[in-house]
Amino acid sequence: MDSYMEHLVKKNTEPKDKVLKYGSIVLIVLITIAVFFFMPTLAILAGALLGMAYRYLIFPLTDIEYEYLYCDKSITVSKIMAKEKRKDLETFDLDKIEILAPSNSYRLGEYKNRQLTETNYWSMDTSKEEPPYAMIYEGGRKILLDLPAEFVKLVQNNAPRKVFFD
């Protein structure tokens, strides 16, 4: 019997995202005002074009959610931008996972001296009591995920020697 579970988590807005989001709004307003003084008839068109560019190019980059999906002994991570655009980032096969444990677990100690490529797919929410989960994948990668206990328990049911809660 196959198991299925999905979990959605909103990524915290980083300071660079806020600067990009609000800085571009200020820039659009300033450009529209400047165009208005030189060519008032083009000001509305310039403002509308810049607003559309912001809506479709910049805003999706600053409003991100990650969706974790467990199905058929694999974990799929998707990125949802502005609640509209969905992009599947990666699929991780359970057989290729070395370990899945909280990022502060002592079980990850043997991996500290390895040269691991780190990928962050977590919310960056440091106010939560529990840390993100770290997954060592195929020996050379460390992936950080923001998984709830129920999700991890489901994965543990299918790979009990690879998944830990401590």
pTM: 0.79
Closest CA to 63 of 88, 83, 90, 86: 83
Q: What is the pLDDT of residues 49-93, one digit of tens each?
A: 888 888 888 887 778 899 999 988 899 999 998 888 899 999 999
Domain residue spans of the chain: 15-62
Asked whether the predicted pLDDT for residue 1 surpasses 80, the reply is no
Q: How far apart are CA 119 and CA 89, in angstroms?
A: 11
Q: What is the pLDDT of residues 106-160, one digit of tens each?
A: 888 888 888 888 888 888 877 777 788 999 998 789 999 999 889 999 999 888 8
Please give the angle made by the CA atoms of 69, 9 and 100, to the nearest 5 degrees: 55
Q: Where are the beta strands (DSSP E) in the chain?
A: 4-10, 64-71, 74-81, 85-93, 97-102, 117-121, 133-137, 141-145
Q: What confidence score (pLDDT) does residue 91 get?
A: 93
